[in-house]
Structure 1
Amino acid sequence: MATNAPRDPKNNLWDFTAYYLRYLRVQKSLSGDDLGAIIKCSKATVSRIENGIIKLDGKQAAQIDRTWKTGGLFGLLVWYAAIGHDPQWFAQYVDLEARAEMIRIFEAQVIPGLLQTEEYAYALLTVGTTRDPDRILHDRLQRQTLLNRDPAPFMTVLLSQNVLEWPIGSPEIMKAQLARLLEMAEQRNVAIRVVPRTWETGAYAGLDGSFSLMSADDYGEVAYAISPETGRLVSAPSDVRSYAVRYDLIGAKALPEAPSKDLIREAMERIP
């Protein structure tokens, strides 16, 4: 097993779970392979769990509890960690986003941060309760550089038609922002589709709110549910699958790429 320093158990409940899992494994003189045999995964996966890269899931926790006779300790830890709020969720999300090989985004209200122009982003940041909009703007623009790395992640974006039409900043800012969308839609690693606001679309899964899915070889797949000020990072496989299903249901309502671009152009033309 790697000799990385254990997670700081004071950070959050997930880090406490990772810390205590490693502690008990070492106390029992078990190797990563030994623990992997218990939770039916590789030694490398055990290392990722103990280093906080991926989360212990409910089935794995239950198997550890049965084997080590912990009285359900790890199952309870995972349960409480999954339902609790973690102030570090957004920081973890940004780190996972930077390492992602595939990103899927659904946005119901505004242009996603990775596709925002500087002016559009600043207009959003200065109307809320953000304490340091200049710093957050800088960080947001820095995040966008991941789309230009080599190799760049493949990103698919589903947008509600409302996103194209809600006036942000000024007519000039909105026109420039929609032009940025069209420009990004021409990149080989970016696909943008729009969910039309029609009676045929009607009520659909996207009305529950915005979210994103990210995946990479070193951490699998995670979801991030967006909410004011912060959000919720979801890593339990069963919960992530529910977001993936929701994304596919929204995608079934979206226009293909070419008609989506036409809708974006039409929205630009309607701006005075």
Structure 2
Amino acid sequence: MVSTRDLDPSASPLDYYGYELRRLREAAGLKQAQLGEIIYCTGSLIGQVENAKRVPTRDFSERVDAALGTDGHFSRLVGLVLRSVLPTWFQPFAEMESRAEYVSTYQAQLVYGLLQTEEYARAVLGVRSEGDLDAKVAARMERQRILDRENPPLMWVVLSEAVLHQEVGGHDVMRNQLAHLLGLRKREWVRVQILPFEAGAHAGQLGSFTVLRFDDDPDIVYTEDFVQGHMTANPQALREGSLRYDHLQAAALSLEDSAALIARVLEERYGKQPAHNGREVA
């Protein structure tokens, strides 16, 4: 069992979460192993979370809330914890993304983070990952919660056809990912277009970028290099990004033809049936 240690709850969201978990578990008169039995995990895992050595997932937090009767306390805290796992330079963009009314993005190599399956995200983040890969995947999945809220942002995504062919994580992962993209057609606020190879030279050749639009805040353009991200509300940059995106939308296939191309690549390269998705407790 993990030995207990004093945590400074003001040190980080993770430390505060661990402090609160131990405090409320002890208030309920439960040992770590007893709480673990109730929420179907080990006492060692409870100890790791209490000592800020393991990042909790949302599922874990919901189980703890149910077991301790804490009225969603940990389900609310886990959002802050997972946000803190994101790279420091990315956190401001994630905050703005969560508040945006309209998200338009062009992606040249990968599926946009908000549309990635868990297995695809794990393969992407695991290429060159330092630290807790499970925590990073959980943080990416947490970002996607904005798509399930009552008033989600309108999202329009243009993907290079190369994204469909670049095999990330193997056949099963790609089969699930492309099936997921097709399934997004059921969400009226999510639209996916494919920029086909036949488009030739196009306005997105300089790389991926995202435009976020807001009701009450200035719109922003976001780009990344291999070191960090760059976010700006500069009117000239915004005008250029918006113009490039308009050209990309015009050059891309229609929504119907895009779905047909995704389905064709899914069948020809990866097979028809998506693999089964499992779930982890923590």
Report sequence identity in percent. 36
Q: How does 1:219-234 map to 2 (within 5 A)?
A: 219-234=217-232
Aligned letter for 2:252?
Answer: A
Cα deviations across residues 68-127 of structure 1 (Å, max 9, x unaligned)?
A: xxxxxxxxxxxxxxxxxxx95421100000001100011000111000000000011111
Gaps (5+ residues) in structure 2?
Answer: 1-86, 271-282
Q: Return the letter of the residue paired with 1:231.
A: G
Task: Look up the match of 2:37.
Answer: none
Distance in 1 of aligned mates of 2:186 and 2:117: 16
For the 8 Å contact 1:90–1:233, the answer to whether it is kept is no
Q: Which residue of 2 aligns with 1:4?
A: none
Question: 2:224, 2:269 → 1: CA distance?
Answer: 28
Alignment-derived partner of residue 159 in structure 2: 159
Is the alpha carbon distance of 1:124 and 1:146 closer, same or farther for their aligned partners in structure 2, counting shifts above 3 Å? same
**Equivalents in 2 of 1:130, 1:160: separation in Å?**
28
Q: Partners of 1:181 and 1:113 in 2: how far apart?
A: 12
Letter in 2 for 1:150: E
TM-score by length of 2: 0.63
Normalised by the length of structure 1, the TM-score is 0.65
Q: CA RMSD in A?
A: 1.4
State the Cα deviation string for residues 244-265 of structure 1 (Å, max 9, x = none): 1111111111000000000000
Per-residue Cα deviation, 1:24-69 (whole angstroms, up to 9, x for no partner):
xxxxxxxxxxxxxxxxxxxxxxxxxxxxxxxxxxxxxxxxxxxxxx
Over residues 151-190 of structure 1, what are the superposed CA-to-partner deviations in whole Å (9 max), with x where a residue is unaligned? 1110000000000111111111100000000111321101
Q: Match of 1:227, as an amino acid?
A: D
Partner of 1:188: 188
Match of 1:252 in 2: 250
Cα shift at 1:129 = 4.1
Partner SS for 2:219: strand
Equivalent in 198, 212, 215 of residue 214 of structure 1:
212
Give secondary structure in 2 for the equivalent of 1:127. Answer: coil
Distance 1:218 1:263 in 2: 37
Q: Which amino acid aligns with 1:248?
A: D
Shift in CA distance, 94/173, structure 1 to aligned 2, threshold 3 Å: same
Where 2:144 maps in the other structure, the secondary structure is helix
The residue that corresponds to 1:204 in the other structure is 202
C-alpha distance in 1 between matches for 2:120 and 2:227: 18
Written as runs of structure 1 = structure 2, the 5 A alignment for 1:137-176 is 137-176=137-176
Measured after TM superposition, the shift of residue 145 of structure 1 is 0.5
Task: Provide the secondary structure at the position in 1 that maps to 2:216.
Answer: coil
SS state at 1:169 partner:
coil
**Partner residue, 2:27:** none
1:73-152 matched pairs, under 5 angstroms = 89-152=89-152
d(CA) in 2 for partners of 1:186, 1:211: 25
- 1:62 paired residue number: none
**2:233 alignment counterpart:** 235
- Aligned partner of 1:11 in structure 2 is none
Deviation at 1:270, TM superposition (A): 1.7
Structure 1: runs of 5 or more not aligned = 1-86
Q: Distance in 2 between matches of 1:89 and 1:129?
A: 16
Amino acid at match of 1:240: L
Deviation at 1:235, TM superposition (A): 1.3
**Paired residue total:** 184
2:102/2:214 contact within 8 Å kept: yes
Does the CA contact (< 8 Å) of 1:165 and 1:267 recur in 2?
yes
Q: Which amino acid aligns with 1:210?
A: S
Aligned mates of 1:197, 1:224 — CA distance in 2:
24
SS at match of 1:128: coil
Q: How far did residue 196 of structure 1 move? A: 0.4
Aligned-residue offset at 1:193 = 0.4
Give the secondary structure class of the aligned counterpart of 1:240.
helix
Residues 22-61 of structure 1 correspond to what in structure 2 (within 5 A)? none
